[in-house]
Chains A and B, each alone.
Chain A
């Protein structure tokens, strides 16, 4: 049983479209992180959210942490081919717990 669920599992869209991917759990997390992983590489941290209801923006990417700190979303505006990759969410229940990763959303942006 996955502690963190991500949806959709796969997403293929045209360049310029908007999209949202979701990360959900029945557990409360003290912090949640989003990573992007490209083929043949390790994940790269995009953002960390720690406060319920927090919204962070990184250029065309908007991240939101749910009020109850059980879920998060990543919205990409005007997707570009360079956004292609595996998007992973990861949560920490406490400062000293191991980090738990979701299964990921594989995004493909077609030129």
Chain B
């Protein structure tokens, strides 16, 4: 079974631009979560989607948005990029939404650099 895939793997943008990242979950998984990882802040939760609905959201500005399609694939968008948005963006999929012990499987991430 294929793992979680994220595209693109690397991205360079300039301040003020917008970017869209894509995540394909493991087949059969209905929950997709997005995280931002930086050396200073570590791994921070952005949002979770389950059956095309945003179920949970972290403390990020409205410039960060996402959506999930009927096939469970998800995209996240960052508008008006800032230098501080440079980070590794990780996507994780799981079978269900919530529930103790529900395993999250992470993709390799998209490395975003904002110049």
Q: Do A and B bind each other?
A: yes
Q: Could you tell me which A residues sit within 8 Å of B by CB distance?
A: 2, 30-31, 40-45, 48, 50, 88, 90, 92, 95-104
Q: List 29 A–B pairs whose Cβ atoms lie within 8 Å, in order of A's numbering.
A: A30-B100, A31-B101, A40-B108, A41-B109, A42-B4, A42-B106, A42-B107, A42-B109, A44-B106, A45-B103, A45-B105, A48-B101, A50-B100, A50-B101, A88-B43, A92-B100, A95-B100, A96-B55, A96-B97, A96-B98, A98-B48, A98-B56, A99-B33, A99-B45, A101-B35, A101-B45, A103-B42, A104-B42, A104-B43
Partner of A43, one of B43, B99, B100: B43
Of all A-B residue pairs in the complex, the 4 with the closest CB atoms, nearest first, are A42-B106, A101-B43, A103-B42, A96-B98
Closest A residue to B9 using CB positions: A40
Closest A residue to B100 using CB positions: A31
Q: Could you tell me which B residues sit within 8 Å of A by CB distance?
A: 4, 33, 35, 42-45, 48, 55-56, 58, 90, 92, 97-101, 103-109
Query: Chain A contacts of B44 at CB under 8 A?
Result: 101
Partner of B42, one of A31, A41, A95, A102: A102
